[in-house]
Amino acid sequence: MKSIVLLSLLGVTSMFAGVFNYRKLILPIILIGIAAAIGLFVDQWGMNKSFYQMAFFDNYAIAFSCLLLSVSFLIFTLALYHYRKEGDIVTDLYALFIFALTGGLLMTSFSNLVMLFLGIEILSIPLYVLAGSRRADLASNEAALKYFLMGAFATGFLLFGIALVYGASGTFDLAGIAAYVKAGKDIPDFFYVGIVLLIVALLFKVSAAPFHFWAPDVYQGSPVLVTTFMSTVVKIAAFAAFLRLFNYCFTPLASYYEIILTAAAVATLLIGNVTALYQQSVKRMLAYSGISHAGYLLIALVVMGASATSVVFFYSAAYAAASLVAFAVLTAVMENKEGRESFETFKGLAKNNPILALCMSVAMLSLAGIPPLAGFFGKYFLFATAIKDGYLWLVLVAIFNSLISLYYYLRVIINMYSSADDEVPAFTPNYALVLMLLLSLGANLALGFYPDLLMGLLG
Amino acid sequence: MKDIAWLLPALPLLGFIINGLGRKALPKMVAGVIGSAAVLGSFIIGLMLFMHVHETQHGEVLNYYRWLSVGSLVIDLGLYIDQLSAWMILIITGIGFLIHVYSMGYMSHDAGHNKFFAYLNLFVFFMLVLVMGSNYPMMFIGWEGVGLCSYLLIGFWNTNTNYNNAAKKAFVMNRIGDLGFLLGMFMIYYYFGSLDYQVVFAKVAGVEINSPIIVGIALLLFVGAMGKSAQLPLYTWLPDAMAGPTPVSALIHAATMVTAGIYMIVRSNIIYTFAPSAQTVVMVVGLATSIFAAIIGLKQNDIKKVLAYSTVSQLGLMFMALGVGAYSSAMFHVTTHAFFKALLFLGSGSVIHAMGNEQDIRKMGGLWKKLPITAWTFLLGTLAICGIPPLSGFFSKDEILLNAFTANPVIWGLAVVSSLITTIYMFRLLFVTFFGKFRGTYDQEHHLHESPASMTIPLVVLCILSVFGGLLNVPEIFGGNAWAHHWFGEMLFKPALGGIEHAVSHSMELVLMGVMLVLIAIAFVVLRNKYITKGAVPEADEEMTGFTKLVGNKFMVDEIYDFFIVKPIYLFSSALYYVCELKFIDLIVNAIGDGIVGLGRLFRRLQTGNIGFYIFTMVLSIVAILVFKYFVV
């Protein structure tokens, strides 16, 4: 709880940075603040503190919160690179990032449906603004508007779902709902409709098919830093909330909604991977890649159980570590090539900046699930759990989709290692970028070589 | 002992790394000294280990690291130091060191000098792993490693396509043998549940003699040995391997690597002792190879080819000895052969060096006066290989012949024929090369010079070893105590030893020696008359007719293999390619790829960018889910 308060204060501090003119200091302050928040969380490990039946900080909440904070830390390090020039400093945007992050933390620790709703909204509203933060850019405006309209729809479904569940069970409290479901007496039909609507709203947030349509347009239109934030922090927070809610309340009814999640998982995998094949923009390809990874994670939700939590956690961490590198390299390349983002712009990168190309290759291979990188073990644990629980056919579908994904991940690598058509200016190395790449890459390799670091954490 | 034994292979590996990484930066002199010093260091450690084994009289397993532990399969990175491995270590590092020194002179003008030393060190490393490993997988690692180095060094001058082909041939032929080795290991693991020498050998002692399992294992391992030690029918790569620089021929393709097959069988002697029918196969193959290769050697005119066939023939003789159960005699011959064959190859290298890369003995002659050290050492090497007493070859060969006679007089007779042919082609080589008139060009004649000291000193050292090497194992009949015989006796499976030692009376032994020596003397006189007194020169290739031509063309074995094996495989391969691959597999694969890309195009069209459509699909999906849940299921 202290961390959430700290982050809120940090957001306010950041907001006033523009007014009281300490812009240059703000990023270091934010980084220190986030690190402190991680420290406060780690300190709470194993204490299971509850706050007025609203938030419950069990190990699950703390682990996912720390993951979100660490990813945000790296994104702010990337911001240090991206907004390094004078006049770029946009402190109000940082404030919005931090508020969104605070919402994400609530989504991992809620123990009441109201808190879930608040968390999702605190996360979403700053994001609508952030998506449109490049005011002069038409695509950015379009992204913001689309995101807002569709997000508003999803929020409607979420509220309606919560209302129906409340109507049947008479409580917002997760423990109360769980007891109600467990008792299983005279559950009315509209309770099930409520579950369906909750699923729809959460599928929307994790950008799973058939509620994914907003994702490619919004990811592509938003500024690259916001896209990075959306495809890592937001996605992980949404999955953490999804898993927490269903694992806690609705497991006895799994046979009811399992088929919906399975269908969504298969559709997400297929649409995400197959459409990614056809993209010309790396940014858009990464958006589809993000959709397809949501498909893999949905498999874990179908499988559920205690083993699913550690698998989802590991997979999210592995996915975030690789995505961060990919977006960081994309940021650097786009900056160097006047904002272009097609596959062709990556040509000649290996010659121009071999380190950057190597990092990107590792990230792509990890996303594709090539051993010994973290992405491979994420998939391995996921598939192993699913097979053990008897979902062999689902795993076969997932493996088939992994094969397809190789095509577009390797396409990036092939482009990087083929020669450029025109001369490109040399990259200027930047300590923040190097630090960020080093940390993400180190995390990727560490998880690949010592998967037990995170696998054992959540039992 | 455990503290220093690992250094033995580590030093050459370090040398390889230094020379490999610094091949562009290091001066030639430094690279040569590093390479040689690494091997010398190993040799000194090897001596210490040898003395240690000498004192303790038993082998010792040194486990450093558990490499694999999967189910019941456990593989340790361990070393096994016993009489056999200590002996092999001294041969490998001792002769290896001399050849490194020699190479400093021989390769001094070569642009790839540093790379050459890196490869040589890598070879020594793998060879040491091969003989020092404490289990079959370790042996296999070394086995494959030396194969790799052999490939790299045969094709060292890789701008020459023929040399590259020779390297490829060596690799492929060895792979055939390796398959046998691998299958043998699989069988061992399947039936004995381990690949560790100690465990396996203990279990072998419990099986029935000549049971199909043990015979199968013995034969499969022997297939591996056939490949590496160039026995019929897998020998054809070794003569071609002479494409590599001469020090390589001396070190790898004469003194050390090709004896790996012998080492393997001696190491597994208990397996062969329990599989007498496999032993018979080893004996027959060895004897056949020995005679066959010797006959081909009669009509070769390339100085290195003659020596190469001679190596194949001598290896055959060693396998024959293994086949009659004379393990220590085979090891003794491995040792003396390493001395004099390395000497002969280095001598031939000295000749080639002096002749400006000419290898055809018909264009040499009369080199005696110009290259005195080379000529003298070559002469002594020839006498040693022919088995003239009291040189080393006499003792080792005599022991093999004696064992053959004990087993069966017919085997002895055939082995004598093989030895006699050896004598003939060796004297022919010696006489044609060093005696008579010089037959080369004017330029070559004026370029002739004795090689530098870095090359002649190893020659002299090897010459001394070739002359006195027999002292290691003087038989009782000459008042010796057969030291090497007892040395190896310690590590051999005991029943394998019995019976042979006193089966032949001393007088019979003398008669057998006498027969051999008389035959050698006759051959010497006849050949001297032909090549020195009459000054005959071997006929040119076009002049060869009939059987001579067949022998000169190596019995057309390469052509036969090409026609009956290589061509059909190519044919089969292209049939698979043009029919199966292009007509079926490609079509299917491309259809799948096109299908998925087509699907992608379809899905992309759904992404219209129209937000009204997006929200419509969202609502439609919710309706569909609810309808499905309430009206379908």
CA B516 to CA B416: how far, in whole Å?
A: 7
Q: How far apart are CA A312 and CA B297, in angstroms?
A: 71
Average pLDDT, chain A: 89
User: Quick one: pLDDT at residue A425?
Assistant: 64
Low-confidence ranges of chain B (pLDDT < 50): 496-500
Single-letter amino acid code for the residue at A297: L
Question: Which residues of chain B does A193 touch, with a Cβ-Cβ cutoff of 8 Å?
Answer: 626
* Whole-angstrom distance, CA of residue B489 vs CA of residue B485: 6
Pairing, β B73-81 against β A55-57:
unpaired
Instruction: Work out the number of other CB atoms within 10 angstroms of the CB of residue A244.
Output: 23
- A192 contacts in B (CB within 8 Å)? 629
The phi and psi torsions of B268 (rounded to 5 degrees) equal -95, 25
Residues B324/B283, Cβ–Cβ less than 8 Å? yes
Q: Which residues of B106-143 are buried (b: 16+ CB within 10 A; e: fewer)?
A: bbeeeeebbbbbbbbbbbbbbbbbbbbbbbbbbbbbbb
Residues of A in contact with B592 (CB under 8 A): none
Verify whether the Cβ–Cβ distance B601 to A259 is below 8 Å.
Answer: no
- What is the least distance, in Å, from the CA of A216 to any CA of chain B? 8
pLDDT of residue B499: 44
Chain B CB contacts of A211 below 8 Å: 618, 621
- State the smallest CA–CA distance between residue B621 and chain A in angstroms: 7
Mutual angle of helices A138-169 and A113-131, in 10-degree steps: 170
pLDDT for A459 equals 64
Q: Is A305 left (phi over 0), alpha (psi -120 to 50) or beta?
A: left
pLDDT higher than threshold 90 for residue A75: yes
Q: What is the ipTM of this complex?
A: 0.86
- C-beta separation of A188 from A246 below 8 A: no
In terms of Cα–Cα distance, which of B225, B231, B252, B233 is closest to B155? B252
Query: What is the number of domains present in chain A?
Result: 1
The tens digit of pLDDT for each residue in A229-250 reads 999 999 999 999 999 999 888 8
Residues in chain A closer than 8 A to B625 (CB atoms): 196, 200, 260
pLDDT band of A86, cuts 50, 70, 90: low
pLDDT band with cut points at 50, 70 and 90 for residue A305: low
For A185-209, how does the pLDDT look when each residue is reduced to its tens digit (9 = 90+)? 888 989 999 999 999 999 999 999 8
User: Can you read off the two tokens belonging to residue B15?
Assistant: 């040398």
Alpha helices in B229-275 (DSSP H): 237-240, 246-250, 260-267, 269-273
Distance CA B194, CA B199 (A): 7
B298's CB contacts (< 8 A; 6+ apart) are: B421, B424, B425, B428, B551
DSSP, residue by residue, B3-69: HHHTHHHHHHHHHHHHHHHTTTTS-HHHHHHHHHHHHHHHHHHHHHHHHHHHHH-S-EEEEEEEEEE
pTM for the complete prediction?
0.70
Look up the domain containing A193 and give its range: 2-455
From the CA of A337, how many Å to the nearest CA of chain B?
26
Q: What are the backbone angles phi and psi of residue B576, rounded to the nearest 5°?
A: -60, -40
C-beta atoms of B615 and A275 within 8 A: no
Under a CB-based contact definition with an 8 Å cutoff, are residues B339 and B462 in contact? yes
Chain B neighbors of A150, CB-CB under 8 A: 611, 614-615, 618
CA distance B610 to chain A (A): 9
Q: Which two tokens stand for residue B209?
A: 């003699």
Contact B625 A146 (CB under 8 A): no
Contacting residues of A for B632, CB less than 8 Å apart: none
Interface probe, candidates B615, B621, B623, B625, chain A, greatest A C-beta count within 10 A: B625
Look at residue B497 in the predicted model and tell me its pLDDT.
Answer: 46
- To the nearest whole Å, the CA of B622 is away from the closest chain A CA by 7
Which letter does DSSP use for residue B542 in this model? G
Q: What's the pLDDT score for residue A320?
A: 95
With CB atoms and an 8 Å threshold, state whether B618 touches A210: yes
State how far residue A7 is from chain B, nearest Cα, in angstroms: 34
For chain A, the farthest-separated pair of C-alpha atoms sits apart, in whole angstroms, at 72
Instruction: Please tell me the distance from the alpha carbon of residue B260 to that of residue B283, in angstroms, as a whole number.
Output: 17
List chain B residues with CB under 8 Å of A205: none
For chain B, the farthest-separated pair of C-alpha atoms sits apart, in whole angstroms, at 113
Query: Is residue A306's pLDDT more than 70?
Result: no
Please give, rounded to a whole number of angstroms, the shortest distance from the CA of A213 to a CA of chain B.
6
Chain A interface, mutation test: which of B601, B613, B614, most A Cβ atoms within 10 Å?
B614
Coil, helix or strand at residue B389 = coil
Q: Does the pLDDT value for residue A271 go beyond 80?
A: yes
- End-to-end alpha-carbon separation of chain A, Å? 23
Facing B625 at nearest CB: one of A196, A213, A274: A196
On whether any CB of chain A is under 8 Å from the CB of B618, the answer is yes
User: CB distance B600–A200 less than 8 Å?
Assistant: no
As a whole number of angstroms, the distance between CA B263 and CA B131 comes to 8
Q: What is the DSSP string of A254-287?
A: HHHHHHHHHHHHHHHHHHHHHHHHT-SBHHHHHH
- Find all residues with CB under 8 Å of B108, minimum gap 6, and list them: B28
C-alpha atoms less than 13 angstroms from C-alpha of B497 in its C-beta half-sphere: 11
Residue with tokens 């589809």: A288
Q: Which residues between 571 and 610 in chain B have a beta carbon less than 8 angstroms from any beta carbon of chain A? A: 596-597, 599-601, 603-604, 606-607, 609
B2 versus A224: the higher-pLDDT residue is A224
Q: Which of A355, A353, A290 is nearest to A323 (CA)?
A: A290
Bridge partners (DSSP) of residue B97 are: none
Which residue of B lies nearest to A257 if distances are taken between CA atoms? Answer: B629
Quick one: which H or E segment has residue B280? helix B276-298
> Which has more confidence, A66 or A134?
A66
**Is some CB atom of chain A closer than 8 A to the CB atom of B505?**
no
> Are the Cβ atoms of B609 and A274 closer than 8 angstroms?
no
What does the alpha-carbon distance between residue B62 and residue B73 come to, in Å, rounded to a whole number?
19
Structure tokens at B463: 């010459």
